C-alpha cells in the first residue's frame, strides 16, 4: 500500500516538473492544485495514519519535499511571467506620441563673449595664442618691466605656489606677451584669451578668478594711431556702431605711453550714476605702446620694431553687454542664470 502512495507522489512530481504555466490564469490553477488550501497533497497527509510507524518519518519528508518543489516551480513561473509581461509592455510603443523635449545646454556668457572677441580680432589678422596658467616670475612680472620690489607688483595680489615661490597663478594674460615675444618671429599679431587669478576678496565687483583677453601687435612702424583705430574698431564691433569711446592716460609698467579706454554708458538712471561714478563713462580696457625695455627683455630690437598691447577683462565686457551687476554670477553656475544665454533652438 505504501508503495502505491509513493508511486502517486512520484507521478505528481513529474506533473509539477512538466507544468509550465504561461499565463496568470494557468499560474493560478497551478497554485490552487498544488499550494491552495485544498491542494492535491492533502489526502496524502490523511493517509499518514495508515503508514506504519517506522515509515512515517520518510513519508513525511517526501511530502515536504514535494511541497518545496511545487513552491519553487510556482515562484519560477511567476518570475518568468513578470519578465515577459514587462517585455510585452515595452512593445506597446506609441510611435505617434510627441517626443520628449530635449534639454539643450547653453554656452556660458564668458565663452560667448570670448568667442565674439576672438572673432572680431581674427577678422583683422590676429591669431589666438594660448599659454599656461601657472607661470613663472619672469614671464608674469620681470620681463614686463615689473622686477621684484617694483611698486607695480602691488597692483595685483598674487597666488604663489607653495612648492616653488618662483611659480604663481598668472595674474594677467600679459604673461603671454613675454611667452610669444621670446618664441615667435616678428611680426607678431596675437590675442590671448584665458583665465587669470588674483588674491582678492570676492565681491560683486571683483573675483579671485576671471578671464582676460590680451592683444599684442609688433611690427615695423606700428604707431599709437594704429592702436587707437584697432581698439575703436573693436568697440564698435562689440557695442555697436554708435559707441562713443575715449582714451585716458594711465600707467602700466610694460607700456609707454599707457592709456585706458572708456565707453560712454550714459546717465539715464540712478544705477548708471552708481556704476559710472557719476561720469557716464566706463573703463573697458588697458592699452599702450609696448615699452622698448620690454622688447629688449625679449630680444627684440626696439630700433627696428614697435608695437602696441592691450588687455581686457572678459567678465567686464559681458557685464556691460548683458547688464549683469554681480561678477559672482559667472562662477556660481546657477542654471537659472546660465539658461538666459541659450540661443533659441528649433
Please state, as a whole number, how many other Cβ atoms lie within 10 Å of the Cβ of residue 121. 23
Q: 214 vs 315, which CB is nearer to ligand DAH?
A: 214
Sole residue written with cell 611659480 = 167
Q: 114 vs 309, which CB is nearer to ligand DAH?
A: 309
Q: How far apart are the C-alpha atoms of 124 and 320, rounded to whole Å? A: 24
* CB of residue 289 to ligand DAH, shortest distance in Å: 8
- CA torsion, points 112, 117, 122, 126, in degrees to nearest 10? -130
Q: 281 vs 310, which CB is nearer to ligand DAH?
A: 310
* CB of residue 340 to ligand DAH, shortest distance in Å: 28
What nine digits make up the cell of 34?
A: 498544488
- Return the closest-CA partner of residue 288 out of 209, 345, 217: 217
Q: How far apart are the C-alpha atoms of 204 and 168, rounded to whole Å? A: 25
- Return the closest-CA partner of residue 207 out of 127, 295, 319, 74: 319
Q: 174 vs 59, 87, 138, CA distance in Å?
A: 94, 63, 12
* CB of residue 155 to ligand DAH, shortest distance in Å: 7
Q: 21 vs 136, which CB is nearer to ligand DAH?
A: 136
Q: 112 vs 247, which CB is nearer to ligand DAH?
A: 247
Interface residue list for ligand DAH (CB under 6 A):
172, 174, 214, 252, 255, 286-288, 309-311
CA 107, 111, 114, 115 torsion-angle sign = negative
Region class of 165: left (phi > 0), else alpha (psi between -120 and 50), else beta: alpha
What nine digits make up the cell of 341?
A: 544665454
* CB of residue 310 to ligand DAH, shortest distance in Å: 5
* CB of residue 214 to ligand DAH, shortest distance in Å: 5
Q: How far apart are the C-alpha atoms of 171 and 135, rounded to whole Å? A: 9
* Exposed/middle/buried for residue 120 (C-beta within 10 Å: 0-12, 13-18, 19+): middle
CA 267, 270, 275, 278 torsion-angle sign = positive
What nine digits make up the cell of 167?
A: 611659480
Q: 109 vs 286, which CB is nearer to ligand DAH?
A: 286
Q: How far apart are the C-alpha atoms of 263 and 281, rounded to whole Å? A: 6
Q: 252 vs 330, which CB is nearer to ligand DAH?
A: 252
Q: 71 vs 182, which CB is nearer to ligand DAH?
A: 182
Q: 197 vs 252, which CB is nearer to ligand DAH?
A: 252
* CB of residue 171 to ligand DAH, shortest distance in Å: 7
Give me the residues paired with residue 205 across strands. none
Amino acid at each position: 500500500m505504501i508503495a502505491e502512495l509513493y508511486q502517486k507522489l512520484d507521478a505528481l512530481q513529474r506533473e509539477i516538473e512538466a507544468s509550465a504555466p504561461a499565463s496568470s490564469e494557468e499560474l493560478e490553477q497551478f497554485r490552487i492544485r498544488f499550494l491552495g488550501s485544498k491542494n492535491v497533497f492533502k489526502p496524502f497527509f490523511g493517509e499518514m495514519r495508515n503508514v506504519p510507524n517506522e515509515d512515517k518519518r520518510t513519508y513525511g519528508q517526501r511530502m515536504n519535499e514535494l511541497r518545496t518543489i511545487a513552491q519553487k516551480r510556482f515562484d519560477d513561473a511567476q518570475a518568468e511571467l513578470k519578465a515577459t509581461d514587462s517585455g510585452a509592455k515595452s512593445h506597446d510603443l506609441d510611435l505617434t506620441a510627441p517626443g520628449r523635449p530635449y534639454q539643450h545646454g547653453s554656452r556660458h556668457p564668458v565663452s560667448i563673449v570670448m568667442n565674439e572677441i576672438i572673432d572680431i580680432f581674427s577678422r583683422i589678422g590676429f591669431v589666438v595664442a594660448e599659454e599656461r596658467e601657472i607661470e613663472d616670475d619672469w614671464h608674469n612680472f620681470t620681463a614686463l618691466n615689473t622686477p621684484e620690489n617694483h611698486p607695480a607688483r602691488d597692483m595685483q595680489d598674487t597666488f604663489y605656489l607653495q612648492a616653488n615661490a618662483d611659480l604663481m597663478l598668472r595674474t594677467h594674460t600679459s604673461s603671454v606677451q613675454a611667452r610669444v615675444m621670446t618664441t615667435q618671429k616678428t611680426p607678431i599679431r596675437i590675442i590671448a584669451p584665458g583665465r587669470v587669478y588674483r588674491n582678492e576678496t570676492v565681491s560683486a565687483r571683483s573675483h579671485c578668478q576671471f578671464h582676460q583677453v590680451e592683444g599684442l601687435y609688433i611690427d615695423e612702424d606700428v604707431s599709437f594711431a594704429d592702436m587707437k583705430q584697432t581698439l575703436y574698431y573693436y568697440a564698435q564691433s562689440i557695442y555697436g556702431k554708435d559707441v562713443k569711446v575715449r582714451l585716458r592716460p594711465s600707467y602700466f609698467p610694460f607700456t609707454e605711453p599707457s592709456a585706458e579706454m572708456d565707453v560712454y554708458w550714459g546717465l539715464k538712471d540712478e544705477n548708471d550714476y552708481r556704476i559710472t561714478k557719476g561720469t557716464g563713462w566706463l573703463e573697458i580696457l588697458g592699452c599702450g605702446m609696448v615699452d622698448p625695455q620690454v622688447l629688449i627683455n625679449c630680444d627684440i630690437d626696439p630700433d627696428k620694431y614697435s608695437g602696441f598691447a592691450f588687455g581686457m577683462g572678459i567678465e567686464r565686457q559681458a557685464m556691460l553687454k548683458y547688464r549683469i551687476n554681480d561678477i559672482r554670477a559667472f562662477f556660481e553656475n546657477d542654471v537659472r542664470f546660465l539658461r538666459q544665454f541659450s540661443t533659441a533652438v528649433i
